[in-house]
Every structure is written in structure tokens, then in C-alpha cells.
A = this chain, B = another copy of it.
């Protein structure tokens, strides 16, 4: 996994999420600034996955593929990684990428892939035949829950993955619908809705939701961006109106007061976010916010617990950090909401 200079809980979302959810698949991580240590030292999870300085050193761990573990804004290929990818492909290693720039469309890289009989997987490439949304998700029996957030990169995917595991353990038929490259990599299917033609955001969201609902009573859709993010709010709103969720789980990082890399945008209080999401959902299908997932990874235990209490008091909703603490309070809120809208389940219970 390439994560040069970027291995950390907040700076390399793809890398850290893949290590958290699929550690068995990670042979080694390339980050020359931290070489010689193990992943656990920097992420607090990931065990003894080794960190190496170069591709050459990584090959000693016998990988069969290279994953690009970063997803920079704009999604272009960092120039200094090109030669490393050419070499990987020529040596027969598949390359997995979540960049907006499609590696398979690059002549030099696709030629290298042919020489090495290797494959290029562009996780963000949209499926063929997307179209505009039609509102078909209104016919779904399953309860659809979408995560929404105050900013990018605060845990909208991670919250859903934690909730999926807990809800499954508690005996629910639950599906996770991945809407970004990292979720697709972890789950094995999905559509990167930020990479589709803008008119088809809703259509892609609809298609994902319908597919996830086929074998599930509860569908957890991975949210994207934030309705106040100057660059990504279009994707966020398209996802809300394409998915037509029954309920929202609001995600936030208590320490963050301004949009990351857009410091001119202050983040409003959570109760205001709840009102904004109410306002946007209501004309199509009202969707209450039923719980809050906090990312407290940069707070002490005492500060994290205080932030959770404050959030519960401000919003009147159950709140927790579903990674650091038990995700049950949010899972219970989802179950209770699901029972309330499907009385046949309640009577069976």
C-alpha cells in the first residue's frame, strides 16, 4: 500500500480504513518517513503490518497488488508515484486506485500493465449506463439510513461500517452501500458517486440503494461531503435526494470548528445541521436525524465523554463515538426507528 508521507489517522483515509477493516490483505505499507516501524505505532491499530521505505523493500513481503492509499482533493496522480506504478505493473502486480484520474486510461501505465500481464482497477470509474434518478427508492420496504456530516473525512463511512457489524451481531439483516472508493474497496461493490456525471449523482445513489435493499431489512448508505462544504455539497445533496433515506445519522468531529482546507467556512452547531437536513429532505420525504456519531480520535477519554454528553444534551439524541466506544446506542436507535416504521416486525418481536 502506497501511503508515502501520509500514514496517519486523519491524513490517509483510504489507507487507514483498509488497514482497519481488511488488515489481512495488507502485506506492507510504503512510507519512507516512518520506515522500520509497524502500522500499530501510528494508527493505534493494524498490528505488526510492516512499514517500508520503497517498493523494492515491499516486494520482500510478497504482495500481489499495489493499492494507492491516498485520495487527494482533485484526485490527480502525484507525479513522483508514476515510476513506482510502472515498475509495479511491469513486475506483474495489479494496481488498485481510487483517484479521479483513471490509471487504465493512461498510455504509459496501461502499456506497463500489458507488459507485466497485470490489471489496473480504477475504483472510481462509474459503471456504464447510469441515468438520472426516478424516485424508485420510495418503494423499498427496507429502512434506509444515510450518514450526513459537518465536513469531509470525519467518519461517515466508518460509522456505517461499525454500525453494520454491530447490527449484524444483533441479528439484523443489514447491508452497507458504498458510495466512495474506500468503501468500495472494503465492501467489494458500490459506486463512487463523486466521480459520476453530475446529472447522475441521484441515479447512482438510487441504483446503489435498490441493490443493497434486495437482501436487507436495514440499508446503511455511506454519506459523502457535507451540505455546507463549498466544493462537495452538490454530491451530498444529490446523495440525499437520490437515496431518499428514512433517517439520518449525523457525523461530526467535536474538535473541528471550520471546514478542513476551507477555513473561511465555520461549522455551525449540530442542532442547526439537523434543521438544515430536515429542510432539504422534507419536500421529497421527511427524514428525522435519529442519532449522532462523533469522531473523538483526537480527544482524551474525559474530553471525548464530555463531548458525547454535550451532544446528547444539545440534540436530544443518542450519541457516541462508534469506533472508540460501543456503537450500541446508535444501533439501538436505528432498530427502534426500523420497528416504528415497520409494525409487522414489532408485532413479531
A195 within 8 A of B: yes
User: A75-101 vs B: 1/0 string, CB under 8 Å?
Assistant: 100000000000000000000000010
Asked whether, in the complex, the Cβ of B239 is within 8 Å of the Cβ of A268, the reply is no
| Known contacts A74-B132, A131-B74, A197-B100, A202 near B232 by CB under 8 Å | yes
Residues of B within 8 A of A265 (CB): 135, 283-284
> Please, could you name 28 A-B residue pairs with CB atoms under 8 Å apart, sorted by A?
A73-B132, A100-B197, A132-B232, A133-B231, A134-B262, A194-B198, A195-B199, A198-B198, A198-B235, A201-B234, A202-B230, A202-B233, A203-B231, A227-B280, A228-B283, A228-B284, A230-B244, A230-B284, A231-B241, A233-B280, A234-B236, A265-B284, A266-B283, A268-B283, A275-B279, A276-B280, A279-B279, A280-B280
Q: In the complex, what distance in Å separates the CA atom of A283 from the CA atom of B230?
A: 10
Asked whether, in the complex, the Cβ of B195 is within 8 Å of the Cβ of A231, the reply is no
| Known contacts A193-B198, A197-B196, A198-B195, A135 near B264 by CB under 8 Å | yes
Beyond A74-B132, A133-B230, A198-B238, 5 additional pairs, beta carbon < 8 A: A195-B198, A203-B231, A230-B244, A234-B242, A237-B237
Number of A residues near B (Cβ < 8 Å) is 49
Identify the 9 closest CB pairs spanning chains A and B, nearest first. Answer: A234-B238, A132-B231, A228-B283, A201-B234, A237-B237, A194-B199, A234-B234, A133-B231, A74-B131
Question: Which listed residue (B133, B199, B279) contacts A276, Cβ 8 A?
Answer: B279
A256 within 8 A of B: no
Instruction: Give this chain's copy count.
Output: 2
Asked whether, in the complex, the Cβ of A202 is within 8 Å of the Cβ of B234, the reply is yes
Residues of B within 8 A of A135 (CB): 230, 262, 264-265
A138 within 8 A of B: yes
User: A218-250 vs B: 1/0 string, CB under 8 Å?
Assistant: 000000000111111111111111101000000
Most buried by B among A138, A276, A284: A284
| Known contacts A138-B264, A264-B138, A233 near B238 by CB under 8 Å | yes
Asked whether, in the complex, the Cβ of B234 is within 8 Å of the Cβ of A239, the reply is yes
Asked whether, in the complex, the Cβ of A197 is within 8 Å of the Cβ of B199, the reply is no
Most buried by B among A195, A199, A238, A284: A199
Residues of B within 8 A of A242 (CB): 230-231, 234
Residues of B within 8 A of A232 (CB): 132, 199, 202
User: A33-51 vs B: 1/0 string, CB under 8 Å?
Assistant: 0000000000000000000
Residues of B within 8 A of A241 (CB): 229-231, 233-234
Q: In the complex, what distance in Å separates the CA atom of A200 from the CA atom of B198?
A: 8
A161 CB to nearest chain B CB (Å): 22
